[in-house]
Amino acid sequence: MMRKSFVSLRIRASLVMLPPRGRSSISRMRTLILCFTAVWTTARASEHETSSAFPSKMKMKFRSHLANEMMMYHMKVSEEEVTKLLCSGTEPVQNIHPSFDEFTYTPRSLQDDSTPTAVLSMFEDMGFINTYKIDMHTLARFCLMVKKGYRDPPYHNWMHAFSVSHFCYLLYKNLGLSNYLHGSLQFRGICDGAGYNPKSQTHRSLLLCLLMTSCDLSDQTKGWKTTRKIAELIYKEFSLREKAMGNRPSEMMDREKAYIPELQISFMEHIAMPIYKLLQEIFPQSAELYERVAANREQWSKVSHKFTIRGLPSNNSLDFLDEEFELLQSQGAFGDDSHRMNGCLDDQ
């Protein structure tokens, strides 16, 4: 019974991938072949059954294979999509936003359909396209395929990937990383003050780990509203994921039980701030990143008194925390820097 149900599942899933009647007969034939191949491989696997229950490892293997097949199908990028992206051209990053190449810029403010163009602009601005002789058609198709490959959870989605990529670009532009990764400059902070050796694989790996982690956490270096919004999205995602898997979320990640200000302050003090403090010690020109994370940590302390309940409010929003921030901002409590920050879009 288990085997028949699984075969039926593969047939239904494969039929979902059938192109509409308007598509070419060759395309439909290829998909039909995929459908029948999926059924055949499942039937062959059933020959190894030793009981009426389908072996759990085999079941997991074929479910994973099926998921990969469906994902690859839906990640396909048409020639029309590539042409449309390339026709818009690679515009200078300053045309996207005057501060696009500055640490104050928040990539989450960019509309979703504009992000592939922005990726091409970043590659062009860094000189990668000419230096590495990258074919624009291939790069455009790759960007669109990666974007399609992302699902749409609250936080770990395409916009998060774009934000991480944008921060990589900012580090490259503002910290002169090409000198550290390929040159012979020395800097303090690694190997007990012995200096950085770009020829050392260990040194390079440590530096890349630091840079990648700082990119992954870069939302914490933006304005308060972005930091607050990200906390909201993260608690939504982890809680939903654990419950969907049938697990009981730990209290710290349960949006119904977590005391969010306390957890955010702890996260910033023990993870985010040390990361950007080390980055500042190595690259003094990145000092503003640490300062902004510290300011966001302070703001969490200021709004903590507003939390009279544990977890997210019934509307799953932390917007109510912005009232006090906006009042302090209007009084100039944060200086000019916060006024230059553009926040993330409300629907992200």
Amino acid at 47: E
Question: For residue 345, what are the CA distances in angstroms to 27, 30, 110, 146, 322?
Answer: 39, 41, 8, 22, 14
The closest of 313, 151, 150, 111 to 232, measured between CA atoms, is 313
Backbone angles phi, psi at 32, to 5 degrees: -65, -40
Length, in residues, of the chain: 348
* Among 74, 156, 203, 305, the one annotated catalytic: 156
Three-state SS for the chain is CHHHHHHHHHHHHHHHCCCCCCCCHHHHHHHHHHHHHHHHHHHHHHCCCCCCCCCHHHHHHHHHHHHHHHHHHHCCCCHHHHHHHHHCCCCCHHHHCCCCCCCCCCHHHCCHHHHHHHHHHHHHHCCHHHHCCCCHHHHHHHHHHHHHHCCCCCCCCHHHHHHHHHHHHHHHHHHCHHHHHHCCCCCCCCCCCCCCCCCCHHHHHHHHHHHHHHHHCHHHHCCHHHHHHHHHHHHHHHHHHHHHCCCCCCHHHCCCCCCHHHHHHHHHHHHHHHHHHHHHHHCHHHHHHHHHHHHHHHHHHHHHHHCCCCCCCCCCCCHHHHHHHHHHHHCCCCCCHHHHCCCCCCCC
The answer to whether residue 182 is catalytic is no
CA dist., res. 155 & res. 118, Å (int): 20
Residues noted as catalytic: 156
